[in-house]
Amino acid sequence: SQKIEQNSEALNIQEGKTATLTCNYTNYSPAYLQWYRQDPGRGPVFLLLIRENEKEKRKERLKVTFDTTLKQSLFHITASQPADSATYLCALPQISFGAGTTVTVRA
Amino acid sequence: GAGVSQTPSNKVTEKGKYVELRCDPISGHTALYWYRQSLGQGPEFLIYFQGTGAADDSGLPNDRFFAVRPEGSVSTLKIQRTERGDSAVYLCASSFGGPPNTGELFFGEGSRLTVL
């Protein structure tokens, strides 16, 4: 079955540093991947979509890469801020979400 | 409001009871999704509607779960004979299009179900 794995349950970083999150997928060749942010007690909020023919996508301090050979997407938060603290979810279209990586940015 | 609305926000029920959870999607969104999320996990797909019809219900765990969307807008997730294992946050999302060209999913805040 299609499966998504995110690299770790928690990531703690110092303000100003770059957070890098990994999403690996198996048994699927998605046309695109999506990344969402989820705050405690809230529904996920869409951040970025990257298509299979795009190597990299940026939005403000966020950057996403998509490597169809490695079956992997990397999500970067540059110049991190305490307000970036949240859980970040990788998603295959429609069906499968990863368990999420919780990022905590220390001031 | 402009977003996806889910009611109730919290529901506590006893084992064996019947529960209905409602989702009001963003106006004009033809696709509607139901997910279930347990603590520390990502959303787990349950069912997807395109218009009034269930296009994919492969995620429904068993026949106690059923969902409808009779007029292609509001949807209701129905759970019969609830079990303690059904306790979770039930999320609804809508989008302009569906697979294979699914774009951004807009999620509601979820309905937290607790089965005692």
Chain A partners within 8 Å of B109 (Cβ): 41-43
Residue A72: inside a domain: yes
Q: Within chain B, how many helices (H) and strands (E) appear? A: 0, 11
Task: Report yes or no: B105 at the A interface, CB cutoff 8 Å.
Answer: yes
Position A104 in a domain: no
Q: Do A89 and B43 count as a contact with CB atoms less than 8 A apart? A: yes
For residue B112, report the phi and psi dihedrals to the nearest 5 degrees: -85, 115
**pLDDT tens string for chain B (116 positions)?**
589 999 999 999 999 999 999 999 999 999 999 999 999 899 999 999 999 999 899 999 999 999 999 999 999 999 999 999 999 999 999 998 766 666 789 999 999 999 99
> For residue A100, which of A65, A70, A75 has the smallest C-alpha distance?
A75
Residue in B with minimal Cα distance to A89: B42
Write the residue in A45, A94, A99 that is nearest to B42 by C-beta.
A99
Residue A48 maps to which CATH number? Answer: 2.60.40.10
Residue A99 maps to a domain = no
Q: Across residues A77-81, what is the average pLDDT?
A: 98
- Report the SS3 class of residue A83: helix
Domains of chain B, each with CATH number or no CATH: 5-115 (2.60.40.10)
- Report the pLDDT averaged over residues A70-74: 94
Within-domain flag for A93: no
Q: Which amino acid is at B10?
A: N
Instruction: Determine the average pLDDT of the residues in A62-75.
Output: 94
Q: What pLDDT shows up at residue B103?
A: 79
The dihedral through the CA atoms of A25, A30, A32, A35 has a sign that is: negative
Domain carrying residue A72? 1-7+16-81
Task: Please report whether residue A65 resides in a domain.
Answer: yes
Counting the structural domains of chain A, the total is: 1
Q: Residue A92's pLDDT band (boundaries 50, 70, 90)?
A: confident
Does a structural domain hold residue A89?
no
Radius of gyration of chain B (CA): 13
In tens, the pLDDT along B45-75 reads 999 999 999 989 999 999 999 999 999 999 9
Mutate to test the interface with B, among A94, A96, A102 (most CBs of B within 10 A): A94
